[in-house]
A = this chain, B = another copy of it.
Amino acid sequence: MAPKQKGNVDIVAVAKAAKVSPSTVSRTFNHPNLVSPATRKKITRAVQKLGYVRNRAAQMMHGKRSGTIGLVVPTINHAIFAEVIQAFSDAIDRAGFTLLLASHGYDLEREYEMVRKLMEHRVDGVALIGLEHSQATSRLIAQQETPAMAIWNYAEESELPCVGADNRLAGRMAAEHLVALGHRDIGLIFPDTRGNDRARHRLEAVLETLEAAGVAVPEGRKSEAPYSVSQAKQAALALLSAPSRPSALLCGNDVIAQGALYAAQRCGLQVPEQLSVIGIGDFKGSAEIEPGLTTVRIPAGTIGTLAGEQFTAFITADEPAPFRICCEPEHIVRGTTALAGSKTN
């Protein structure tokens, strides 16, 4: 069966094989109720026999949707976005869409290029991570009238529809936890915040909260590390091997916290007795690491799923209503934080 066609098995080849007109074949796919069961069967058989696969690009030329959604993320590489990509992908797949994925490596210029590239493919919508984007990107989106949304951040006043969490709140929660435990000497490890509003919001909130609590963070206690276990470990090692070390480490996210934890182990420091560590994110594995990582959970799976569902609904709706969904961060206390001075050095 399924004889090797010379190549171009199109709708008219099917029509010919089924001895009907191309129109009827098209209708069999798009409005099956308009074609008699008998003809439908003939056509289905011909489709089977010839191994016909619909050409969505050709459909698209008739104002039909392309059935694709573009997603542009900073990076695919880390646990951070893997979960949200997976959930988003699954959700749009359920709605019959396919994912076009691109990454820009935390470079807003490249983000623009990627969005543009996706638009050349006439995606039905484009989802971006975060709310901070280059002006060119915003202009492009507005101009092309392509539905767009932001994932990961929530802001009441956001221009774009969004599904995400309030990263300021997350930062505040982490800081408050440490303060409540009596920590006064806190080390901070955050990634570069340029072009990364998630990290920036968290850091700002942390700093504000600490200041409000009367906790000063001298420059020597601030460290920068990209989202990588390896570099985070290095940064933490530097912080911890200084003559006086902080009693707690507040990390920009769980990947960094993981690195910090390994650094502590390497230094032979007891966590949480000698050093408290808190992350933000609650990624896969954060619960299992020993001791279990205290963190502020940003529900990536939920965000991805919700984003996918809302966005596809938005795209297919007759009169789309913008949406803004806030997923509450949740404070997860596990084993890496304890009262300050429970066993000071």
Quick check: A55 and B288 within 8 Å, CB to CB? Answer: no
Mask: chain A, 222-260; 1 = CB below 8 Å from B; 0 = not: 000000111001000000000000000000000000110
Q: Say how many copies of this protein the assembly contains.
A: 2
Q: Does A38 contact B (CB under 8 A)?
A: no
Contact residues in B for A77 (Cβ distance below 8 Å): 82-83, 86, 284
Quick check: B89 and A101 within 8 Å, CB to CB? Answer: yes
Q: Does A67 contact B (CB under 8 A)?
A: yes
Give the contacting residue for A53; candidates B2, B119, B265, B289; CB below 8 A. Answer: B119
Q: Does A122 contact B (CB under 8 A)?
A: yes
Question: Can you name the residue of chain B whose Cβ is closest to the Cβ of A105?
Answer: B90
Contact residues in B for A30 (Cβ distance below 8 Å): none
Give the contacting residue for A285; candidates B2, B7, B60, B258; CB below 8 A. Answer: B258
Contact residues in B for A56 (Cβ distance below 8 Å): 120-122
CA of A57 to CA of B121, assembled, Å: 6
Contact residues in B for A259 (Cβ distance below 8 Å): 288
Q: Does A266 contact B (CB under 8 A)?
A: yes
| Chain A interface residue count, Cβ-Cβ cutoff 8 angstroms | 62
Quick check: B100 and A230 within 8 Å, CB to CB? Answer: no
Give the contacting residue for A79; candidates B67, B79, B117, B287; CB below 8 A. Answer: B79
Give the contacting residue for A89; candidates B54, B76, B266; CB below 8 A. Answer: B76
Quick check: B89 and A103 within 8 Å, CB to CB? Answer: yes
Quick check: A121 and B68 within 8 Å, CB to CB? Answer: yes
Interface residues of A (CB under 8 A from B): 2, 4-5, 7, 51, 53-58, 60-61, 66-68, 75-79, 82-83, 85-86, 89-90, 93, 98-103, 116-122, 139-140, 142-145, 228-230, 233, 258-259, 262, 265-266, 284-285, 287-290
Identify 25 residue pairs between A and B in the complex whose beta-carbon atoms are under 8 Å apart, listed by A's number.
A2-B139, A7-B145, A51-B140, A51-B143, A51-B144, A53-B119, A54-B120, A55-B120, A56-B120, A57-B58, A57-B60, A68-B100, A76-B89, A77-B82, A77-B83, A78-B82, A98-B100, A98-B102, A98-B121, A100-B101, A229-B285, A233-B288, A258-B288, A259-B288, A266-B290
